[in-house]
Amino acid sequence: MDQKNDAKEIVYEELQAHHSSGMMMLILNLLLMVGSVVWFVFSVIALGEGHGTAMDIVAVIVSCLYFSIIGPILFGGLKILKPNEALVLTLFGKYVGTLKGAGFFFVNPFVSAVNPAASAASAAAAAAVAEAATSGTKNSAQNVAMLAARNKKISLKAMTLNNEKQKINDALGNPIIIGIVVIWKVVNTAKAVFNVDNYTEYLSIQCDSSLRNIVRLYPYDISSGDDGNEKSLRGSSQEVADMLKDEIQKKAEIAGLEIIEARITHLSYAPEIAAAMLQRQQASAIIDARAMIVDGAVGMVQMALEKLSENDVVNLDEERKAAMVSNLLVVLCGNKDAQPIVNSGSIY
């Protein structure tokens, strides 16, 4: 086992556990158990007829020991693994290797599998037993607890962690509600089991901590007066997701975990400021729309005056041009449709 002894910590490296064919050992053990029964019967018959020897007495003892103790113990070394599953094995507290790969294996029957996450799951299932006992489903809850306690296998599949939404202050101090989803998997079973107490809980806590560190660096959104170079949580979601993934990966390295992807699933202002921020966004949208309307109206008035002058439709002095510009801007920039007044007399 490659362990680096240091004054501060011991870093465990994953080792391949020694194993043999489970099917071959199963057949061999069954044959030996059947043989021990036959040997026991013939030895007892010989002793009963009075011509037994000391060898027959030894055969009876050995047969009983193998059939009742040794054979069942050997069955305990048989392990079945599905694809993307692993067993971290220890022998009297010492790490001896990890069993990986789908198949039927035989290992040292005295080794034990270790999985802290399964222990936590069994504790949660035990709590479910206590809760289900009051609802009349005690038997089914106990079955769940027993299965959780027995399952010591570590899944190597890509798994999803979806923590609860958090209230965090952004770079401007505004409280926001944000939630993320993290796709992860175990790549080093020895680190996952021995370097941290419970790698699933450890990852969950580190995700919350990393999320707070990243969110505090960005505002929720940029204002309309910015030059566009400033990053925000809403406008730079890909950059924020990449930084979040890197931050979590640094902290999850000690637990032998690989962060495949981290994404923001929910982003909104906190309820106490949501109404005010909505009004701010609406005001900003109205201002932008008004600015566009005024720009278009000025261009249309300028074009109208130029066309009137070019075609000599009417000659207007500066005072009447100013009055015409004022009237056109009122019509073009107004919120409601203009009500024209027709003058049937002279304009003078």
pLDDT tens, position by position, 274-295: 666 676 666 666 677 777 877 8
Contact 220, 269 (CB under 8 A): yes
Query: What are the distances in angstroms from CA 181 to CA 134, 161, 212, 244, 248?
Result: 34, 6, 14, 11, 12
How many Cβ atoms are within 10 Å of 271's Cβ, its own excluded? Answer: 10
Phi, psi (rounded to 5 degrees) for 317: -80, 180
Whether the model clears a pTM of 0.75, i.e. scores above it, the answer is no
> Which residues have a Cβ under 8 Å from the Cβ of 247 and sit 6 or more positions away?
210, 213, 214
Give the SS3 label for residue 121: helix
In the chain the first and final C-alpha atoms are separated, in Å, by 107
pLDDT: is 212 or 234 the higher one? 212
Contact 180, 264 (CB under 8 A): yes
Query: Which of 4-8, 15-19, 64-68 comes out lowest in average pLDDT?
Result: 4-8
Residue 172 confidence class, pLDDT cut points 50, 70, 90: confident
How many Cβ atoms are within 10 Å of 248's Cβ, its own excluded? Answer: 24
Residue 150, amino acid: R
Phi, psi (rounded to 5 degrees) for 28: -65, -45
Is pLDDT of 309 > 90?
A: no
Query: Which of 96-110, 118-132, 195-209 comes out lowest in average pLDDT?
Result: 118-132
Contact 100, 86 (CB under 8 A): yes
The contacts found for 4-12 with CB under 8 angstroms, 24 or more apart, are 9/195, 10/194, 11/191, 11/195, 12/95, 12/190, 12/191, 12/194, 12/195
pLDDT: is 33 or 133 the higher one? 33
Average pLDDT, the chain: 79
Is pLDDT of 230 > 60?
A: yes
pLDDT score of 141 = 46
Pairing outcome for strands 103-106 and 78-81:
antiparallel
Q: Say which DSSP state 255 is in.
A: G
Residue 258 confidence class, pLDDT cut points 50, 70, 90: very high
